[in-house]
Structure 1
Amino acid sequence: MSQTRRPRSTFPLRKIGVAVAIVAVLAAGGYFWHKRGQADAAGGYRTETVQRGDIRVAISSTGTLSAITTVTVGSQISGQVTDVLVDFNSPVKKGDVLARIDPSTYQAQLEQGNAQIASARASLAQAQATLKNAELDYRRKADLGQQKLVAQGDVDQARAAFQQAQAQVNSAQAQIRQQTASLKNTEVNIDRAVIRSPVDGVVLTRSIEPGQTVAASFSAPELFTIAEDLSKMKIELAVDESDIGQVKVGQAVSFTADAFPDRQFKGTVEQVRLAATTTNNVVTYPVVVTVDNTDGTLLPGLTVNAEIEVSKREGVLKVGNAALRFKPADGSALADMKPEGAAQGGQNGGAGRGPGMGEDLQNLAATLGLSAEQKAAFDGALQEMQQRQAERAAQAQQSAQGQQQGGSRLFGGGPGMRMGGGQGRGDAGMMAQMRSRMRDRFNQQFSAFVATLDDAQRAKWNAGLDAQLNAKRVVAYKLANGRPQAVMVKVGVSDGSSTEVSGRDIKEGDLIISGERAATESK
């Protein structure tokens, strides 16, 4: 009797599927409400979060690897190459024989020169014998002439023969010197028939073969190229004129080569050359980078992609560049906001540099290694400066209130009124004047403190003060308890996506407004 099997129930699988679907819906809903809650907290603004991290600023460029010193070996004589003793990549030492040229012609000239010297010496011996005979004849006739036994004409003739013989001896001696010099020149050419390495290094190129004729006429033909030392190499980078001001000797350089895509190499800026090159109206400057190639990995001629690290800031506050580029629309609530101390900055010519400046000066003074007396002088000057700033802030606030009331009565305006026209053209000159006035004011306020510094401290103080005055400061808008607030921040280095920021009103985790959400975004 057959028995029919009942199919397994699919009810547990259905229960699992329904549970998974419910979890997915709940997760999606939670994410939606979380993002909506963030948008509500931001009050309809897009924001960037202030984070703490590192900022590395680098300049990119390309270049070619080469030996630090490359020597071209040529030939100073003409002739047929009989031997070539080295090849490509051959290591050589100074004085090693690289090649030989057939010296037969010069050896024949050497034998001919030796024969000419021997002939000249024989002529000298004959002239010396003639001179001796002429000298004896002249003395004999001179004695007889004093005794009136020979005519004076015979004496004179003997003197002339003696002088001629002396001249012949001098001529023969000069001939010997001339032949000797010619012989030495031939010997030098015979020595030049052996091509030797002038340095220790490696043969990069070889352009001759045995049996080839070398013709050295007006210029020496290039036979070999020798790299003096491949354990140290260099890269010549072409850096754009807009970036060259940031490049300094000693800066670190990292680069890659297509031949070794998985490796990154290091180098150091050795020289910033002044010889600019203009190509298609683009001005570049050569920057020489030295590279350690002790392991022999890198090869001459490789094209490299390099980055010159011009600045590296570690553990600083940074924010996305969009937050610093944000400008509120005219007439919006943000447009009328001013950071604390902005009014005072406008009155004193500081362009809003008052907030946080005291803290910056304290940080600068901390790097000077001040004594107790110097520290007391600094604290006194800083306290006086802050007191004057507070007085100017109060005066500026009263003045602003008066202008607001007068404006509303006479012109129907208010605090939101903006002065327009002609600002862009004079901004640079105006800021330079402001910085000059601020520098004079600081020099006056801290004159007693500066007088206590030694030369090294004074130089460091002046450099740091100039850096503070020249630092760029911008108005940013942060969300504090869900409400926007204008703050003044000092801008530092940027890597293209994030920028270093600092200030007393900004800290890690702050939300900085980078844009206003559209109506469709807020919903």
Structure 2
Amino acid sequence: MNERRNTVLRKRLLAALLALLLLAGGGWLAREDLFAATTPSYITATVATGDIERTVLATGTLKPVKLVAVGAQASGRITAVKVKLGDEVKAGDLLAEIDSTTQQNDLRTAQATLAKVRAERAEKEATLALNVKTLERQSKLLETRAVSRSDFDTATADVDVTRAQIKALDADIAAGEVSVSTAEANLGYTRITAPIDGTVLAIVSQEGQTVNATQSAPTIVVLGQLDTMTVRAEISEADIVHVVPGQPVYFTILGEPEKRYDATLASIEPAPESVRSDSSFSTSTTSTSSSSSSSSSSSEAIYYNGIFNVPNPDGKLRTYMTAEVHIVLGSAHDVLTIPSSALLSSDGEGNARVRVIGEDGRASERTIGIGLDDKMKVEVRSGLTKGERVVLREASASTTTSSGPGGPRPPMGF
């Protein structure tokens, strides 16, 4: 009987013990869920060393350092084009020829006119010599009263008139020489020569084409010096206040984004390209239309051209390529950095506040000294050490509570 009672008692004790264990396990799980719900989790970043650079980004266009449109000053039919695309030429090399028949005839006419005037002057020189001798005889005869005074005066006048005629012919000769020189120059214009050393980039007018230089100089060939390229970078008005000549620049091209070309900003044009169409330059007849166009374009973005040169010894940089230009405002190497998003605030004088994860896993605010900020990373000058973690943002509540009991917990940092 006692044994049966003991058995029942043992079963009751075992059941009570099991109930206590279940109650303790439920309390522990409830505590874990409460802790997970009340202890915040953070997305963090580690303080690390690296390089940082603050730049202004601009879009540039590559052009030869010298780009010349070689035109024609003479009108006529092009009889020959002596070059082809890509040819290297030297200054003075013949590029093209224009039919010179008219210019040659003008030169011959000018030379003939000059020769005629010179012959007339030679004739007058002979007449002057005769008139001078006649005057000398008249002068001697006048002393002996063998001739009248009027004959002597006539001889004197003939000498003066002939000398005056010679002076007039001298002026005609000078004018004739100018005409010949002009005709020779016009004839020379029918031979289009290279004004600079360079490469033939374009042939605008072809053999057999007729050009008219009366109103404007038609372009025959475009030459460029490709050993040095000029980059014209468009800098926005928001960034131009931070840019000055002498700052280092580098750029990449679309075909080789991994290759960097370094240079120095040489100059900044004082006004944007739009100044050429300013309404204040318009005439009275177009002032109304130009003012309306001016008001419509006032909302357009304003860009100033920053200019610099870069060597191009291998010819890889080509005319009118697009360059992604970076103008370096400041740089620092092998310094402590954190993401810019970690900053809570900044006083603009090199101090900022961040939240730092302590050894207990909790975040506390700290004031640090900062330097360069490229909007992605910021230089840390004081207040943090390498390896510390700063808070970027708190993890969302859904991330924290979505894991059930025994489920995975969100990581602290990364």
TM range (shorter): 0.7 to 0.9
Find out whether 1:235 has 2:209 as its counterpart. no
Q: Percent identity?
A: 28
- Structure 2 CA distance for aligned equivalents of residues 167 and 191 of structure 1: 36
- Structure 2 CA distance for aligned equivalents of residues 48 and 478 of structure 1: 10
Which runs of structure 2 are paired with 1:437-516 in the superposition (5 Å)?
Answer: 471-482=349-360, 483-503=362-382, 505-516=383-394
Which runs of structure 2 are paired with 1:124-163 in the superposition (5 Å)?
Answer: 124-163=121-160
SS at match of 1:150: coil
- Structure 1 CA distance for aligned equivalents of residues 114 and 180 of structure 2: 9
SS at match of 2:140: helix
| CA displacement at 1:299 relative to structure 2 | 1.7
Deviations 1:479-522 (A, max 9, x none): 3333544432122112222211222x321122333445565555
SS at match of 1:481: coil
Q: 1:197 to 1:277 in 2, by over 3 A?
A: closer
Aligned residue for 1:296? 315
- Structure 2 CA distance for aligned equivalents of residues 241 and 84 of structure 1: 46
SS at match of 1:69: strand
Which protein has the bigger strand share? Answer: 2
Aligned residue for 2:303? 284
Q: 1:41 to 1:321 in 2, by over 3 A?
A: farther
TM-score by length of 1: 0.59
CA contact (8 A) 2:59 2:323 kept: yes
CA contact (8 A) 2:247 2:327 kept: no
After TM superposition, the structure 1 stretch with the greater mean CA deviation from structure 2, 488-497 or 307-316, is: 307-316
- Structure 2 CA distance for aligned equivalents of residues 262 and 318 of structure 1: 26
SS at match of 2:343: helix
In structure 2, give the amino acid aligned to 1:238. Answer: E
In structure 2, give the amino acid aligned to 1:267. Answer: D
| CA displacement at 1:55 relative to structure 2 | 1.8
Which runs of 5 or more structure 1 residues have no equivalent in the other structure? Answer: 1-35, 328-350, 352-469
SS at match of 2:195: coil
Aligned residue for 2:167? 170
Pick the aligned partner of 2:337 from 318, 324, 330.
318
- Structure 1 CA distance for aligned equivalents of residues 231 and 52 of structure 2: 26
Q: 1:90 to 1:67 in 2, by over 3 A?
A: same
Deviations 1:217-248 (A, max 9, x none): 133211111002x1221221111122224434
Aligned residue for 2:279? none
Find out whether 1:95 has 2:105 as its counterpart. no
- Structure 1 CA distance for aligned equivalents of residues 112 and 147 of structure 2: 45
Which runs of 5 or more structure 2 residues have no equivalent in the other structure? Answer: 1-32, 275-296, 402-414
CA contact (8 A) 2:345 2:353 kept: no
Count of residues in correspondence between the two structures: 342
Which runs of structure 2 are paired with 1:90-489 in the superposition (5 Å)?
Answer: 90-228=87-225, 230-248=226-244, 249-257=246-254, 260-261=255-256, 263-268=258-263, 269-277=265-273, 280-325=299-344, 471-482=349-360, 483-489=362-368
Which protein has the bigger helix share? Answer: 1
| CA displacement at 1:98 relative to structure 2 | 0.4
After TM superposition, the structure 1 stretch with the greater mean CA deviation from structure 2, 42-51 or 158-167, is: 42-51
- Structure 2 CA distance for aligned equivalents of residues 131 and 486 of structure 1: 113
Q: 1:160 to 1:281 in 2, by over 3 A?
A: same
- Structure 2 CA distance for aligned equivalents of residues 303 and 101 of structure 1: 37
TM-score by length of 2: 0.74
In structure 2, give the amino acid aligned to 1:510. Answer: E
- Structure 2 CA distance for aligned equivalents of residues 237 and 146 of structure 1: 92
CA contact (8 A) 1:326 1:515 kept: no
After TM superposition, the structure 1 stretch with the greater mean CA deviation from structure 2, 483-492 or 88-97, is: 483-492
RMSD value over aligned CA atoms? 2.9
- Structure 1 CA distance for aligned equivalents of residues 52 and 341 of structure 2: 16
Larger RCO, structure (CA 8 Å, separation 6 or more): 2
CA contact (8 A) 2:253 2:321 kept: no
